[in-house]
Structures are given as structure tokens and as C-alpha cells.
Structure 1
């Protein structure tokens, strides 16, 4: 079985795939080979998944970028995020965090919001790129709070973190696993997280839901899916094996140690989750008038 990862080796999508691939191989009784097909923000790999023969020998990792944010942002996406895939399960989710340089005056949510409300357009924020989930969520945050900051897009979270840590940009909204080492080292101050509950790593930092912004409280996800028309028996077999993998304490620990949260929902729940995420991001993109570069 080929497991397509639509991003380069080393990132969270790839890490999740490699953690589950070996135990999945053992349970399914066949090799599960991770195949990285990076490019175009995940669209190259996702397109290959969508166009694969639905025989169960080619599956892929679904992310919020490939099946929600990218299609919502780019009308030229060569697949439909709902109609062209068969969802299997959401394996894990990644909390995101608003964090600031230590020199920023607002060091908790109330003072952060007060600072940016007092000076619309004065402050800039970094994300992993235009049209990324983090960019779209900040647009939603600004709409809900009636604030405005200048977006500074980067080609990935890594370069964005470098500039915020250096003090060139005061604010970042990015995935928690990437930002956490800088927060723990005191190079960044966490303000609020997008997570289903307060994280174990940052127990004193509230979620967006706690500060009255439940619609912004959305996590990136990493799931399993296949092409449209995948037989039900294949879906059930792979789903059952994946649930057994995620029940293994060693596997759970390896995933959670990266800063991710285990999910493991049903195919139907994952399908509904994907649909709702796509529709939400579509609405944000349309209201904000966002367009590809």
C-alpha cells in the first residue's frame, strides 16, 4: 500500500504518516510505504490521491490545507475537497498559537486585544503563507474582534518564526509544535491557543473558546483518506487497523510528544468535519476578498 504525503519529509504531516505506517503494515499484513509528493501547497500530492485507482492500494494523508484551506482559497484547485475523496479518519490535530515577541506590550489575551484594537494597522503578524489555515483564521479573528493587523506571509512557519524571534515582526500565528521550543525558551510569549482544551505544554494559556471566540478555535488536522469510490470494506479495514494503532500507548506518546492531539474519529465524522471546515474557510475567503498571489 502506498501512503501519499502531500508535503516534504520532516514536517508534521510526514511525521504522523511515518509513525503509523509500520504498525499499520503489521496489522494490515502488507507493506505501507510513505511516498512524499510535495509541491503547490500540498495540491500535487492531493491531486495524485484523488486520481488514484480506488482499490485500496493508494491512500493519502488529508490535511486541513489540502481539503479545506487551499480549495477555499484557490478556485483553480484541480480536485473537489469533498466529492473527490473517501474519508477514513482524522488521526491527529495540531493546536495553533498566537504568540508575540517579548518586547510586545500585550502579554495576555486582554492586553493583546487592547493593543491591537487601539492602533488598527500598526502591528504586523507573520504566518506560514498567504491562504494558509493560519492566515485564514487570523482573517476570521479580525472579523470577529473588529481589529486589523498587517499580514506578513512567509514560505513556511520556520522562516516566520525566525523573524518574529528576531523582533522583525511582533506577532505570529502558527502551529504550536513549531512555536513551542521558542515559547519554552522565553523567546516568544504565548497569548491564546486554538485547541479543544488547554494544552498540557501551556496550561496557563486560554483557548479561543475560553476568550469568547469559538469559531476561531480550529486546529489543523492530519487524517487518512483515499480516492472517491473506495470500497466500504477497504474503508472499514483501514479504519479498524488505524484505531488499533492509535490505541497503542507507545504510538500515542510518540504522536503527542510532537505537540499533536490524538483524534481517531469515524469515516462519517471525518467527512462531516471536512465539509464544515471547507465551508467555513470558503466563507472567510469570500468575505475578506482573499485571492491567490
Structure 2
């Protein structure tokens, strides 16, 4: 009960009034920091909304990539920035749940160091394989990794990323053993998976889907509420009996703690309006993503819940950053 009260106070603190809204916000360009390398899903979602959001707010929203540390380097920079509405960051399950769950030295506190603004979209995750492997479906992959424990490696966007811990969920549930190869974002991980440098990749669907459509990767199983229309023959984790792994990723906007509530509300309202545009919705939904467009409070609640889920995975799998 005490812990819940502390968390509640922490979330309330991020909506504090220490900083006062500037008259006429915004009156200069807004920085949107993506805590991963260019080419991944976080970058894709950010760039899809940045330009129309800038038009809606009346000032450019400039996307900047700063990868590394499973997203923690960029996320920490957002947390340290001035809470005036000109320094925003993309928040993902990796930066607000999985990485904090596995890394005790992470340089920010999810509950108190950010101002949640809006969850933009949720996306499926997918296990995909290099096309020249001896298997081309989920059943074949499972048989192969069970037959030769430790032989197969998988790429992820980094240590502590959502797909790193989701694969740990998968390994726990299937009693399999695979080698984790972390990268500095989805872009470089996909490059090596397509080239066969690493046989498997667990990635967010939007960044992997173009390679799957071009038959440069083979989709094996997806984490989604139902089968993805773009991949009608690929089962969900729930269908193959792994409902606990059937989790989607979120992509939202946050700022540092202490952002004035009127600025938060203005950004939230502008983003909601952008996400009502049929052209923007189409671009996001074509990746298999689901538009969320929720309230700051709802996004804060989801961040807390996901952190609890992945802390449990870390404990059960005895995971560390080493």
C-alpha cells in the first residue's frame, strides 16, 4: 500500500507546476529525441507524426536520433532536459519498462523523471528469420532451436529492449536456449539479419515488415491481438500457446518531469488532431500498428504496468546487463 502511494505521488509529481507555461508556446522549434538509431520503428513513428505535429503547433518538430544503451542514453537526455515543452522524447516499452527492469544503474526513474504526454500507437512484434535457414515457419523454428540448444542466435535492438526481454519470455515458456546479439537499434539489427549475419531477429513489426514483404526475411510468429492483415498466414503467439508473450509495444511522447500542465495538454490535443488525419492514420496502420491517442494519465498507468511485468521476467530469468 505504501509503495503504491509512493508511485502515485511520483506520477503526480511529473505534472507539477514548478515550471510555468511560456506565453505563446511554442515560439521556437521543438526537439523530438528518438532514443534509437534511424530506421527502426520508434524512428518511423516519430517521423510520421513530427511534420504534421509541427504544422499543428505552428513550429517545426525536429527529430533527432541518439541511440545506445537499449534506449537509455537518449531517454536519460530527455529526462535531464528543461521542462519547457521544447524538449520531448519518444518513450517505448524498452525505455520505460524493459531496460529499467533489467538495469539497476539506469540513470532515470520512470515513475518520477518523465511527464507522460500521449501514447501515439501500439505495434505488434515479430520473430523473423534469415530466408536461407532450413525452416520457414514457427513449428520448424521451434523444432530447430530445441534440437540444438545454443546454436541459434537472435538479434534485438539492444540489451534491455522490449524484444530482448520478450525473447526471454519465449525462452522461459518454451524451455529453449538461444544466444542474444544486441545492436544499437532496429536498423543495424535488421541489416545483419537480412544479410544472414545472425539467423533470427525479434523486432517491432513496422521496421521488419518491409523486409518481410520483400521476402528478405521470413516472418514466423507475431505478438498481436489477432493475425496481422499484411501477414495472414503467420500465427500469433496466443495461437501457438504462448499468450504471455503476446504483448505489443507502445510509442508515446514524454517530456522531462515538471512540464506545465497546459503545455502537456496542448501537445496532447495537437497530437490527437494529427492522428485523426486519414492519411497519417493510414501510414501508421499500414505498418500493422494501432492508433492509441490516449490521455497523459492513461499513458502513465500503462508505463507502470509494463514495468511491473518485465521486472517479473528479469527476476525469473535471473537476467543482468552483464
Do they fold alike, i.e. is TM over 0.5?
yes
- Pick aligned residue for 2:228 from 184, 194, 199: 199
- Cα distance change of structure 1 residues 22 and 129 upon mapping to structure 2, 3 Å threshold: closer
Deviations 1:170-219 (A, max 9, x none): 32222223332332233332211112332221112111122222221222
The residue number in structure 1 matching 2:278 is 249
Partner of 2:8: none
Matched, 1:44 2:73: yes
Q: 1:164 to 1:14 in 2, by over 3 A?
A: closer
1:168 CA drift (Å): 4.8
Segments of 5+ residues of structure 1 without an aligned counterpart are none
The aligned counterpart of 2:306 is 277
> Between Structure 1 and Structure 2, how many residues are aligned?
293
Counterpart pick for 1:208 among 237, 240, 265 = 237
The residue number in structure 2 matching 1:116 is 145
Give the match's secondary structure for 2:90.
strand
Inter-CA distance 152–37: structure 2 relative to 1 (3 Å threshold): closer
Alignment of 1:91-106 (within 5 A): 91-106=120-135
1:129 aligns with 2:155: no
1:88 maps to 117
Task: Using the TM superposition, name which of 182-191 and 267-276 deviates more.
Answer: 182-191
Across the aligned residues of Structure 1 and Structure 2, the Cα RMSD in angstroms comes to 2.6
Distance 1:156 1:47 in 2: 16
Q: Closer, same or farther in 2 for the Cα pair 1:167/1:192, shift >3 Å?
A: same
Which of 254, 258, 270 is residue 225 of structure 1 equivalent to?
254
Q: Which residue of 1 aligns with 2:16?
A: none
Deviation larger for 91-100 or 173-182: 173-182
Asked if the contact 2:93–2:161 (Cα under 8 Å) also holds between the matched residues in 1, the reply is: no
Matched, 1:77 2:109: no
Contact kept? 2:120, 2:252, Cα under 8 Å = yes
Label 1:124 to 1:10 Cα distance change in 2 as closer, same or farther (>3 A): closer
Alignment of 1:45-60 (within 5 A): 45-60=74-89
Q: TM-score, normalised by structure 1?
A: 0.87
Find the residue that maps to 1:121 and give its secondary structure. coil
CA displacement, residues 61-104 of structure 1 (integer Å, 9 cap, x when unaligned):
11222212222222111111122112121112332211223454
1:236 alignment partner in structure 2: 265
2:87–2:255 CA contact under 8 A, matched in 1? yes
Contact 1:129 1:135 in 2 (8 A): yes
* TM-score where L is the length of structure 2: 0.80
Query: Does structure 1 conserve the Cα–Cα contact (< 8 Å) formed by 2:44 and 2:207?
Result: no
Cα separation, 2, equivalents of 1:8 and 1:152: 16
Instruction: Tell me the SS of whatever aligns to 2:252.
Output: strand
Q: Which moved more, 1:220-229 or 1:94-103?
A: 94-103
